[in-house]
Structure 1
Amino acid sequence: MGRTVRIIVRGRVQGVGYRAWTEREALARGLQGWVRNRLDGSVEALISGDERQVEDMLRACRHGPRLAAVDDVTVQESAEPAGDAFRTAPTI
């Protein structure tokens, strides 16, 4: 069974490769969706796929890449279509 979540990641998550890391990690897990920077300094992502892979990705997002310092990850269930692959989206 699949699951789709929208997350907001706060902390030192811009300028440290968080988006590129998220895209690589999501693709490695066979997930769909997108990741983007937000003007408020956070990173937002839509993650969709197998329940177990989504949970694994959420655990990874709580740490992020080596230079990141994640303070908080907010998770909301979503019905938004995720598309066929995982990509980096424009900043909002």
Structure 2
Amino acid sequence: MIRRRVLISGRVQGVGYRDTCRRVATERGVTGWVRNLGDGRVEAVFEGTVEQVDAMVEWAEHGPGLSAVADIAVQTEPAEGLTEFVVR
């Protein structure tokens, strides 16, 4: 089990990014959360196997069709054993 915190910048708020992220993460068996930040970025935490989390980070680099990701920062953290994926 691994955990990665991801900060995504660009046109990522108001384009369905959080809801699509939740749906994709749930489909892939990834737990964690996603939320909008006041500075226009989106923050997400992904927990799961290396393969699952890497796939979510790769998805986050592009996001849903209406988003325009400009930059992504990824930080590895200790896993907390989250049990679901939610939008905060």
Unaligned stretches of 5+ residues in structure 2: none
Counterpart in the other structure of 1:51: 50
- Distance apart, 1:3 and its partner CA: 1.1
Unaligned stretches of 5+ residues in structure 1: none
Counterpart in the other structure of 1:24: 23
- Distance apart, 1:79 and its partner CA: 1.7
Contact 1:3–1:50 at 8 Å: present in 2 too? yes
User: Deviations along 1:47-73, whole A, 9 cap, x unmatched?
Assistant: 000100111111111110000000011
Contact 1:13–1:43 at 8 Å: present in 2 too? yes
RMSD, aligned CA: 1.0
Matched-pair identity in %: 43
1:63 aligns with 2:82: no
TM-score with structure 2 setting the length: 0.96
- Distance apart, 1:78 and its partner CA: 1.1
TM-score with structure 1 setting the length: 0.92
Structure 1 moving runs of 4+ over 3 Å:
none
CA distance 1:82–1:66, shift in 2 (3 Å): farther
Between the aligned partners of 1:82 and 1:11, the Cα distance in structure 2 is: 30
CA distance 1:26–1:39, shift in 2 (3 Å): same
Letter in 2 for 1:24: R
Aligned pairs, how many?
88
- Distance apart, 1:38 and its partner CA: 0.2
